[in-house]
Amino acid sequence: MNPVDKPGKTGSLMAVEVAMARLLEMAEASPIRERERLPLAQVQGRVLADDLVSTLDLPPWPNSAMDGYALRMADWTGEPLTVSQKIFAGKAPDPLKPGTCARIFTGAPVPAGADCVEMQENAEVLVDERVRFTETLSPGQNIRPKGQETTVGELILSAGTRLGPIEQGLAASLGCAELDVIRKVRVAVLSTGDELIEPGQTLGSGQIYNSNRVLLCSWLERMGCEVIDAGILPDDLATTRARLGELKDVDLILSTGGVSVGEADFLGIALREEGELTLWKLAIKPGKPLTFGHFRGVPVIGLPGNPASTLVTFALLARPYLLRRQGVKEVEPLKFQVQAGFSWLKAGNRREYLRGRLENGRAVIYKNQSSGVLRSAAWADGLVEVLEGRTLAEGDGVSFIPLSELLS
Ligand code: AMP
Ligand code: MG
């Protein structure tokens, strides 16, 4: 590690991993425990409430991995064998008649008495319909043994697992028609700023369209949250207080904007008055200011308003917080080392998350990394992490965090 590369050494700024640890601690202090039972087809993105333990051996019986012939090896002396039965998948076979073989298809139960399956490509059917095998046989070949995938009583998925197509498939293979999952996290999304109007309206002078609202609402929906769209909050204390007060039945108020230095910070004032406020200056770029607190007992996360800052802080901090509230253990984003396809000459005192993509196995970055430029993220397929105090030459190793994983 480069000597200036020490995580946590960020002057007066809070290191990303410290903020993350604190957020996760707070998430664990208010876990969501209520559960609901859902049909298997509806559990996508949800969190498993109980351990899933197998009540089956899977497969329940030895079955054929090939289309071919089942036989007892000891019966194969070089003399062709008669086919005594045909076993399709879904059928119950008779025990294998000694001195014969059985025609068998993939997934069909191997008959009692057979100890190997030879694939049809290595079998020759003679004119009298007897079968000769052309290759050496070995015991157990092409047989999937009983319990190969799982045996009764085995832990298959732990409570706290996030469910997606693969877990749904696995649960289905064990015969589960329904699963108990943690109820949806209820998240209220607030956009703050007098300059914001919604798409579809005509822009007046000084106004911009609200992009954070739809970005966060649809991201939260993909994550399996219940989204309460709390609209746009003007930069005004009385309205802020009133609007926050209306959101008492949610698990989290997630706001954007209004947390930059020097701004009339109405969210902060309201939290200080009627709850508590922690304003962190994080060693992260984009996304330095992040507010965490409570308003009348309801947790509030205030993300910085610049669209790329909103995206990065949501992905790296708010998302893990929301998952941990539901009991998910693995909340850290997947990260892997790649070679930098760019150079980075000026070491910063904040950890940078550059919007980048992989080209020929190397990370390259969007030409404009301004926190106001959301196009950078649309162009990108990941975040390139450059640690604080670090410079890079082309070919140096950097961490790459794929966005695809974070977006669900
Ligand atoms: P703030 O954190 O409120 O100082 O906002 C920082 C920058 O992000 C300003 O340029 C805002 O206009 C912009 N911004 C804040 N909220 C949004 C939003 N919901 N959609 C698009 N841009 C925003
Ligand atoms: Mg603002």
Instruction: Please indicate, yes or no, if residue 271 is contained in any of the structural domains.
Output: yes
Residue corresponding to tokens 């047989």: 143
pTM: 0.92
* Residue nearest atom 16 of ligand 1, based on CA coordinates: 305
Domain boundary among 162, 182, 202: 182
pLDDT at 277: 85
389 close to ligand 1 (CB < 6 Angstrom): no
Range of the domain at 390: 336-406
pLDDT at 279: 75
Domain boundary among 325, 357, 372: 325
- Low-confidence residues of the chain, pLDDT below 50? 1-8
pLDDT at 158: 98
pLDDT at 305: 94
Report which DSSP code applies to 49: S
Residue corresponding to tokens 């397929």: 381
User: Which ligand is the nearest neighbour of the Cα of 302?
Assistant: 1
pLDDT at 6: 47
Domain boundary among 294, 325, 356: 325
Provide the residues around ligand 2 (an ion) whose CB is within 5 A: 193, 257-258
Query: What is the tens place of the pLDDT at every residue in 242-295?
Result: 999 999 999 999 999 988 665 567 888 888 889 888 878 999 999 999 999 999
pLDDT at 10: 62
Instruction: Please indicate, yes or no, if residue 330 is contained in any of the structural domains.
Output: no
CATH number of the domain bearing residue 352: 2.40.340.10
Of all residues in the chain, what percent carry a pLDDT higher than 70?
Answer: 96
CATH number of the domain bearing residue 14: 3.40.980.10
For residues 20 and 14, give the distance between their C-alpha atoms in angstroms, rounded to a whole number. 10
pLDDT at 261: 61
Structural domain tally of the chain? 4
**Do 344 and 234 belong together in one domain?**
no
Of 194, 198, 212, 213, the residue with max ligand 1 atoms within 8 A of its CB, to mutate for a pocket test, comes to: 212
Instruction: Please indicate, yes or no, if residue 108 is contained in any of the structural domains.
Output: yes
**Do 87 and 199 belong together in one domain?**
no
57 close to ligand 1 (CB < 6 Angstrom): no
**Do 88 and 101 belong together in one domain?**
yes
pLDDT at 210: 98
CATH number of the domain bearing residue 137: 2.170.190.11
The DSSP string of 341-382 is SS-B-S--SSEEEEEEEEETTEEEE-S---TT-THHHHH-SE
**Do 258 and 385 belong together in one domain?**
no
307 close to ligand 1 (CB < 6 Angstrom): yes
